[in-house]
């Protein structure tokens, strides 16, 4: 069935665009439909879809083969590689789990305090683990252990739903809260620099996005409390699981100390980039190399190589190729002009609301945040330019919307990971998303219109 739909959509696209759309836009739209259906329907591995896009661009005369491969030479693709290497070091040493258990120990077995402490753990892990799936995988064993020590079965059910769904969504929100929070944010930085010439730095991204994420996580907590109430007087305080796990971990090993110190130094270098001039990708690559050096490192390259998500790196390159080609050939502007035939003008509020709702619905078919980011970003930038809105401002709104995998398990790897344990149902996830989505949209709109201008990110460029 899915194969038939995939083939039909692409055949219709070829026939329709070839006759109704002028070149080179028709060819670009054919590639775009293939990318959209290929990445979202998952009938082919994402790497195969991505590699096909890379070869289609020169074959269809939309650019040279060198143009298609240009994304792989960008500094931020090496930030992506470095992030996977450092995450592997974190996992091997177990420092991530130690951080989680030590922070949760401060909750002292109180179920009421455990939930916000769990969110805090994930936020801290976000600085070191660059993928939502990686953060979720680290915290799941901790969540399962805490669920199992609760004696009251009904309370255990609600507690399990709260922390499993909470962990999933919090991991996802961190994707846009930090410049290195996900493959998508890393890609967006590179694509924005290539298309509009703006270079984000780590600390300014943090100032713009991190406070909004904290508010959104607060909204998530309120929704979970409403849907899955926990009577803290009924649930006994029991921190034995955390104590036992900490005891099993023992004292911090030399490898853990090394990776923790190295992580702190890398973070310090990112936040002080304006002073020393060493870019985020460069210092990240230096740090990842150190993790693999004999004596001072904590892992060997042959251990690291299999866990690097080469599919994500290939998708990064293909996404960059699409963004570059769609801008260079004017197709993004052509699509934007077609949209503006129906919406000729838009205020910053209207533009942001349109992008939020558009991406929210498109996100229903995408399990890969990076894929939808690569597809929508160039069109968003062109729309902003036509409407007279700061493209950097609208692009940040779009990136936040791309994380809205709020409704179904298949919308993200993190969703699938926690759902597979059986502690919550599809209906539980959907109800949480339905209540949370309007709140997140309101928070993002208010933040974009009133907070961002206070820190220098204005919706309209000065004349």
Q: What is the DSSP string of 328-354?
A: HTTHHHHHHHHHHHHS----HHHHHHH
Residues 319-370: pLDDT tens digits? 888 888 887 888 888 888 888 888 888 899 999 999 999 888 888 766 677 7
Measured between alpha carbons, how far is 447 from 440 in angstroms, rounded to an integer?
10
Q: What is the reported pLDDT for 392? A: 94
Average pLDDT over residues 227-249: 66
Average pLDDT over residues 181-187: 86
Specify the range with the lowest mean pLDDT, choosing from 50-64, 116-130, 142-156, 419-433.
Answer: 142-156
Q: Which two three-digit tokens encode residue 315? A: 């998708």
Q: What is the reported pLDDT for 158? A: 85
Q: Are the beta carbons of 341 and 101 closer than 8 angstroms? A: no
Average pLDDT over residues 24-40: 85
Q: What is the reported pLDDT for 74? A: 79
Q: What is the reported pLDDT for 218? A: 94
Highest-confidence segment of 83-87, 96-100, 327-331, 400-404: 400-404
Work out the pLDDT band at 234, boundaries 50, 70, 90.
very low
Flag whether the pTM goes above 0.85.
no
Q: What is the reported pLDDT for 90? A: 79
More confident residue, 293 or 82: 293
CA 187-344-28 angle, to 5 degrees, is: 45
Work out the pLDDT band at 272, boundaries 50, 70, 90.
confident
CA-to-CA dists, residue 136 to 160, 168, 219, angstroms: 14, 6, 19
Mean residue pLDDT of the chain comes to 84
Q: Which two three-digit tokens encode residue 321? A: 């190729």
Highest-confidence segment of 71-85, 211-225, 354-368: 211-225
Specify the residue for token string 């298949």. Answer: 410
Specify the range with the lowest mean pLDDT, choosing from 136-140, 149-153, 212-216, 242-246.
Answer: 149-153
Q: What is the reported pLDDT for 233? A: 43
Residues 160-170: pLDDT tens digits? 898 889 988 99
Q: What is the reported pLDDT for 411? A: 76
Terminal C-alpha separation, the chain: 53
Of all residues in the chain, the percent with pLDDT exceeding 90 is: 26
Specify the range with the lowest mean pLDDT, choosing from 316-325, 384-393, 409-418.
Answer: 409-418
Measured between alpha carbons, how far is 432 from 226 in angstroms, rounded to an integer?
10
- Compute φ and ψ for 225, nearest 5 degrees: -65, -35
Q: Which two three-digit tokens encode residue 69? A: 């491969």
Average pLDDT over residues 254-260: 89
Work out the pLDDT band at 442, boundaries 50, 70, 90.
very high
Q: What is the reported pLDDT for 238? A: 52
Specify the range with the lowest mean pLDDT, choosing from 7-21, 224-238, 315-329.
Answer: 224-238
Average pLDDT over residues 217-227: 92
- Compute the chain's Rg from CA coordinates: 22
């Amino acid at each position: 069935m899915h194969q038939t739909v995939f083939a039909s959509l692409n055949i219709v696209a070829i026939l329709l665009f070839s006759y109704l759309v002028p070149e080179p836009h028709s060819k670009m739209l054919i590639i775009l439909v293939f990318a959209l259906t290929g990445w979202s329907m998952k009938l082919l591995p994402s790497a195969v879809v991505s590699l096909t896009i890379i070869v289609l661009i020169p074959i269809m005369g939309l650019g040279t083969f060198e143009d298609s491969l240009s994304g792989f030479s960008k500094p931020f693709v090496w930030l992506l590689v470095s992030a996977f290497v450092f995450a592997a070091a974190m996992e091997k040493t177990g420092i991530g789990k130690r951080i989680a258990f030590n922070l949760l120990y401060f909750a002292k077995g109180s179920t009421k305090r455990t939930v916000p402490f769990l969110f805090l753990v994930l936020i801290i892990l976000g600085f070191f683990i660059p993928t939502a799936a990686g953060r979720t995988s680290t915290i799941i064993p901790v969540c399962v252990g805490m669920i199992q020590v609760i004696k009251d079965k009904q309370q255990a059910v609600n507690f399990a739903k709260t922390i499993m769904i909470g962990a999933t969504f919090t991991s996802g929100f961190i994707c846009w809260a930090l410049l290195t929070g996900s493959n998508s944010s890393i890609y967006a930085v590179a694509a924005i620099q290539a298309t509009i010439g703006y270079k984000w730095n780590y600390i300014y991204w943090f100032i713009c996005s991190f406070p909004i994420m904290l508010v959104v996580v607060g909204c998530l907590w309120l929704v979970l409390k409403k849907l899955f109430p926990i009577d803290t007087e009924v649930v006994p305080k029991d921190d034995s699981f955390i104590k036992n796990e900490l005891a099993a971990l023992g004292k911090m090993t030399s490898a853990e100390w090394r990776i923790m110190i190295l992580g702190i130094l890398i973070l310090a270098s990112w936040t002080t980039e304006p002073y020393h001039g060493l870019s985020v990708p460069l210092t990240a690559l230096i740090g990842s190399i150190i993790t693999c050096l004999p004596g001072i490192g904590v892992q060997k390259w042959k251990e690291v190589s299999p866990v690097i998500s080469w599919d994500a790196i290939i998708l990064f390159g293909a996404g960059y190729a699409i963004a570059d080609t769609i801008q260079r050939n004017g197709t993004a502007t052509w699509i934007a002009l077609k949209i503006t035939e129906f919406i000729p003008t838009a205020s910053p509020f209207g533009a942001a609301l349109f992008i939020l709702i558009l991406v929210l619905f498109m996100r229903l078919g995408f399990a890969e945040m990076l894929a939808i980011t690569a597809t929508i970003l160039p069109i968003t930038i062109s729309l902003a330019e036509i409407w007279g809105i700061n493209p950097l401002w609208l692009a940040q709104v779009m990136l936040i919307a791309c994380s809205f995998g709020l409704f179904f398990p298949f919308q993200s790897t993190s969703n699938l990971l926690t759902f597979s344990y059986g502690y919550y149902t599809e209906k539980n996830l959907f109800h949480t998303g339905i209540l949370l989505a309007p709140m997140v949209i309101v928070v993002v709109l208010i933040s974009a219109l009133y907070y961002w201008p206070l820190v220098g990110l204005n919706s309209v460029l000065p004349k």
